[in-house]
Structure 1
Amino acid sequence: MRQLMQKLCIIKAGSTFSSTLERLGDFEEWIINALGAIPLSVEVIDAREGGALPSPDACGGVIVTGSHAMVTDNLAWSLGIESWIPLLVEAAVPFLGICYGHQLLGRAMGGEVGYHPLGREIGTVAITLAAEAVHDPLFNALPDRFAAHATHAQSVLTLPPGAVTLASSLHDPVHAFRVGSAAWGVQFHPEYSAAVMQAYISAQGESLRQSGRSVGNLLKDAVDTPHARKVLTNFGTLVYNHCRAASLTTTTG
């Protein structure tokens, strides 16, 4: 098999709760597991620890993870990712922002991010695809409606200029969007398993009860979400094809 020169860069923007980390691992491990058996070289870069962000031509693809931080905190490492994202979009490097990464993509490209007026969305929720998603490669072979895991207080409130909404929930009208030719954001978590979603609900149980939510029902409704998970498999295929095309160009150029 031809050695691909570029790699998939996972930009780590946060870590899970310590209790979840001990039992189930962390964001980047869940993402790599959900990508499946696609033959990609993967590099994890912890932006919070000062990890250098690579030049776009060194990236076959980029995933920015979720975070327990808020985009509007304007942390220095987060602003660094935000200023880097437009370079990737301009270079048409396949990009996927998950939750926090989704919001960073939105703001980096000129949209508005802030606290959702209806409060936190959490649990296994129904995602409905927009008509524009029918021929979008990220949502290839997904049904019009599927279950996905979500936990977020902030959202993309206004899309960037030229962006296209691809999916929504009853709570959040922008659960997925595309901007440019190869950059996507998904507010939901395609990398979560049912066990991870249940861990997140349990870790926030007290605040959920205080806000009138039924923790028992949220836990009961947390099931595996294979259709949402396919978003990561589809993205991995996009990255592999991008890397392969770049490798062929380098070899024959």
Structure 2
Amino acid sequence: MHSTPPYPLVIVKVGDTHDALREGRGDFEHWIADGLGTQTLPLVVVDPRRGDTLPAPGQVAGVVVTGSHAMVSHREPWSETTAAWLAELVARDTPVLGICYGHQLLAHALGGEAGHHTQRPEVGTVTVTLDAAAAGDALLGDLPAQFPAQAIHWQSALRLPEGAVKLAHSAHEPVHAFRVGAQAWGLQFHPEFDARTMGGYIELLARDLAADGLDAAALREGVRPTDAAAGLLGRFARIVEAKAQPAA
């Protein structure tokens, strides 16, 4: 009997890390792939910025959208095309995970709004607190009520789409996680960042951070491991794998 091969788990690469951080460990898509750890689904990386064609919505098992140094509010053509594609995936209940830029893009794609945070950027290891609505959530529901996570963002999801469920926040950021539909999530924090990566960002951006009134040395000193947040990538992969299993 002919069987359809498993559709891929697609990493949509919408940004690049700094050269100094890429050496030895790779880029955003490599960090995410390491965290996903899927053994049953092919991983495919597409980069719409360079003209890669996004797969047909009915031919993907799940999607992760990376972070980026770009801004969703600039509405670059490749970004708007990706937003429309994400809306189609959500309509199909395809598992989607947007990280940082991807989180903001998912909100924008579904009728919400992304733009600059009303205060200064949020940078470093921050404490994320689950909202009551996270209880029972397939992705975040088993996390501690509070957990450390790595964050670096100037923009935020300022307004969530109609029907979205807010799942987590920090003292600085009202929306650190949300779910829309059955299996689409946005995470403002970076589950793919380890402490070394976070520290590297702070060092590389020290001058920019100082211009925003942030003390890079103090931020660097506050960096710590974020194992609970990192585990969300593997949990998302298990959600995708379970949905991709053929019916018995």
When the two structures are aligned, how many residues end up with a matched partner?
Answer: 246
Counting only pairs closer than 5 Å after superposition, residues 98-247 of structure 1 correspond to structure 2 as: 98-244=99-245
The equivalent residue for 1:7 is 8
The equivalent residue for 2:37 is 36
Whole-angstrom CA distance in 2 between matches of 1:174 and 1:134:
16
Letter in 2 for 1:236: A
Whole-angstrom CA distance in 1 between matches of 2:27 and 2:173:
25
Whole-angstrom CA distance in 1 between matches of 2:8 and 2:183:
16
Runs of at least 5 residues in structure 1 that lack an aligned partner in the other structure: none
What is the CA distance between 1:39 and its match in structure 2? 2.8
Counting only pairs closer than 5 Å after superposition, residues 34-73 of structure 1 correspond to structure 2 as: 34-36=35-37, 38-73=39-74
Whole-angstrom CA distance in 1 between matches of 2:204 and 2:122:
15
Structure 1 counterpart SS, 2:61: strand
Whether the aligned pair in 2 keeps the contact of 1:175 and 1:186 (CA below 8 Å) is yes
Whether the aligned pair in 1 keeps the contact of 2:179 and 2:186 (CA below 8 Å) is yes
Structure 1 counterpart SS, 2:162: coil
Task: Name whichever structure is richer in helix by fraction.
Answer: 1
What is the CA distance between 1:3 and its match in structure 2? 8.4
Whole-angstrom CA distance in 2 between matches of 1:177 and 1:213:
27
Whole-angstrom CA distance in 1 between matches of 2:16 and 2:213:
27
| In the alignment, structure 1 residue 87 sits paired with structure 2 residue 88 | yes
Runs of 4+ deviating beyond 2 Å: 36-40, 209-212
Whole-angstrom CA distance in 1 between matches of 2:16 and 2:191:
16
Letter in 2 for 1:102: H
Whole-angstrom CA distance in 2 between matches of 1:45 and 1:98:
15
Runs of at least 5 residues in structure 2 that lack an aligned partner in the other structure: none
Instruction: Provide Cα deviations, 1:56-77, integer angstroms capped at 9, x if missing partner.
Output: 2211000000000000111111
Instruction: Provide Cα deviations, 1:77-109, integer angstroms capped at 9, x if missing partner.
Output: 111101111110010000000000000100110
Structure 2 counterpart SS, 1:139: coil
Letter in 2 for 1:193: D
Whether the aligned pair in 2 keeps the contact of 1:28 and 1:65 (CA below 8 Å) is yes
Q: Matched residues, percent identical? A: 45
Whole-angstrom CA distance in 1 between matches of 2:115 and 2:210:
24
